[in-house]
Amino acid sequence: MKSHPFSSSPAMLYRSRITAIGSYVPERRLTNADLERMVETNDEWIVQRTGIRERRISAPEEYTSHLCIRAVQQLADRYGAVLDDVDLLIVGTSTPDFAFPATACQVQAHFGMKRTTSFDLSAACAGFVYGLHLADGMIASGLHRKALVIGADALSKITDYTDRTTCILFGDGAGAVLLERDDSDDSGPQFLAYTGGTDGSGGPHIYRSLLADHMNGSPVNTSGKLVQNGREVYKFAVQTIPKGVNDLLSQTGLSTDAIDWFVPHSANLRIIDSVCEKMGIPLERTLHTIEKYGNTSAATIPLALEEAAREEKLKDGDTVLLFGFGGGLVYGGLLLSWKALSPKA
């Protein structure tokens, strides 16, 4: 096991660790061949530009809360996790069922948690990383002991399927992790470093309108569908991710060679390729689900983590770097020392 003698929080009273993880994607597959019959596109064009071959689409009466509940149920079933005493529940999403109440409140109600602080977090595709960082800090401070963090989106509900530049990208899914206070004396911290930031001037590059018809002084599309300037989002990602990764490494004194697994937001395979080339990180050390699930926004990172944990790719002590970015424009990165999970026999 690797030794990581540093912590992301110098004022930390307690440590937290991930003790269980779950995921869910809807049954329906939307393939590139399906999209060829809907808009002017083809499989070769989509794969070459995005790396996506298919994506999952929620049923008409299946919403973000349902995706969350299925992911949490898988977590509980696989790891025997007790949920009654969860006292913090955070859902990172851009597609809540309602403006209010929060999607997190519906998850709490379904599982009957008794004393839970529950809320949604709006940070687009960085929502899961933001939620994980926040939950770790709340546990570290002593205010909470047990947290559920969920990244979930049903982007198909807000996708314009007449716009070939966006409809090829997005899918639906959810991933959830359980964080608990770690009172053991035989392990170092799991959360090693955090970085994050915002460029609100880039808000018009990817958004979905609700009430306003202007942003940053300029008119916006008020259709209620997801709007994206892919070129600008690409530029933001390939410029921001290497800087953020370097910040995480400088905080910990590590080099890119020490990163066992890089888990970027799965927006587009071209972005992942470009960032890995800039950082000198081999593609074989990345975890993503872009080919089969597309861009599931806040769910991409936990979906990739859950798959890697289930397939036993993640080993005890592995250094894992999570990095999310998206609408805002925002970004967030976490450096973890992976702790082995214990599924039920």
205 is catalytic: no
Write out the H or E segment, with its range, that includes residue 157: none
User: Which of 105, 265, 276, 288 is flagged as catalytic?
Assistant: 265
Q: Specify the pLDDT at position 184.
A: 82
Catalytic residue, chosen from 4, 167, 205, 295, is: 295
Read off the pLDDT of residues 202-244 as tens digits, 9 standing for 90 and up. Answer: 999 999 999 999 999 999 999 999 999 999 999 999 999 999 9
Q: Where are the alpha helices (DSSP H) in the chain?
A: 32-36, 43-50, 64-79, 103-111, 127-140, 164-167, 230-252, 269-279, 290-293, 300-310
CATH of domain 191-338: 3.40.47.10
Question: Rounded to an integer, what distance in angstroms lies between the CA atom of residue 340 and that of residue 317?
Answer: 8
Tokens of residue 169, six digits: 């990208």
Domain residue spans in the chain?
A: 15-182, 191-338
How confident is the prediction for the chain on average, in pLDDT?
94
Over residues 156-176, the pLDDT tens digits come to 999 999 999 999 999 999 999
68-89 pLDDT, tens digit each: 999 999 999 999 999 999 999 9
pLDDT at site 3: 44
Query: 310: Cβ–Cβ under 8 A, 6 or more apart, which residues?
Result: none
pLDDT at 11: 56
Residue 5 confidence (pLDDT) above 80: no
Query: Rounded to an integer, what distance in angstroms lies between the CA atom of residue 215 and that of residue 219?
Result: 6
Q: What are phi and psi of 194, to 5 degrees?
A: -135, 145
Mean pLDDT for 33-41 is 96
Two domains, one topology: 15-182 and 191-338: yes
Question: From the candidates 4, 32, 105, 125, which is the catalytic residue?
Answer: 125
Residue 99 neighbours by CB under 8 Å, 6+ apart: 210
Query: Is there a catalytic annotation at residue 32?
Result: no
Question: In one letter, which amino acid is 105?
Answer: C
| Helix, strand or coil, per DSSP, at residue 271 | helix
Tell me whether residue 265 is one of the annotated catalytic residues: yes
pLDDT number for residue 189: 81
What is the second-level CATH architecture of the domain 15-182? Answer: 3-Layer(aba) Sandwich (3.40)
